[in-house]
Structure 1
Amino acid sequence: MAKVLMITGDFVEDYENMVPYQALIAMGHEVHAVCPDKVAGDTISTSVHDFEGDQTYTEKRGHNFALNANFNDVQETEYDALYIPGGRSPEYLRLNKDVVRLVRAFFESNKPVASICHGIQLLTASGVVEGRKLTAYPACKPEIDLARGEYAEIALDDAITDGNLVTAPAWPAHPEMLKQFVALF
């Protein structure tokens, strides 16, 4: 079974954080959820983003999610794969040089990486999307274009794999994203 690192933070999308975390554990994988400046046992606040017919998603307060590992102790060499959930946390996590360094290390080692929705913001900030075909929440398309990636317009419940990278547009894609991600293990 794989040992998976999940980089997360306050106001991560609740479903994109909790569902893959629990699903990977249910499959027998070990998942360490970490956040810079927090330690195991600390909690992060989540948000629920929903598609209710507006021009964009709506946002509501989600649950508290307990971290189970310390960010400062993380070494890429101890993990088999990386998972990056979306929501609002990637927009500030990408400003952390240690997060960017860690994301790059997974790509330099060619380990499986999955990113959903706004998680792509960590990838574009880390400089690892150039020349790759990938997807994200449609509002992130300009970032992918600026980072010289090829944005794939796919259904909200679909995912795409390019080499070691699996990307999906939003939480309705969990089944397809997880199927493709685990196949890379």
Structure 2
Amino acid sequence: ASIEQLLLSLDEKKVAIISHSYGTLVHSCIVKQLSHLVSDQSNIFIDPVCFLSLDSRYVDNMLYRQPSSPNQLLLHAACAEDLYSIYHLQRHLCWYESILWPEDIKQSHGRIHVFFSEFDEILPTSFINDYLKKSNIDTTVLSDFKHGQIIIAPKYQKNILKKLLELETKSSIGDNESISI
């Protein structure tokens, strides 16, 4: 309701959204609960934790695994050891309400693209990518990237913005069609 009130106060009727990691959980709630805001709009998910998040690998990789690489250590410090993040993730996040299903995407009539990091240390990338592809959701797997690294790669930031512009010029996705890169 707060997001909707903010957008109404700004006189915004529709929004295009780009989200990353934890932000994809908020993004998924907007797609499901405020679909009128994203209907026929561009939606880009980067390293999304909102798809199939009941898979035990998510929780293990995000909260309980001991880091064994520099990137895992950074993720661990930012997620698993941050007092507010861990409190929210373990006590207040309703995982089942944040899961985004392909049916939710199709009902929102948004234009969707999902970017994955090939060597994501939180997500089971190939599993989720295959799942989304079977539902005609357009995806890109960025080779040699780990979770979050896309955010600090200017070349790929430009590719994300190009994809956003491409999505802006397309009509909304239908039940039996997919968009491609």
Q: Which has the higher strand share?
A: 1
Check whether TM > 0.5.
Answer: no
**Which structure has the higher relative contact order (CA within 8 Å, separation 6+)?**
2
Structure that is richer in helix per residue: 2
TM-score between the two structures when normalised by the length of structure 2: 0.36
TM-score of the aligned structures, taking structure 1 as reference length: 0.35
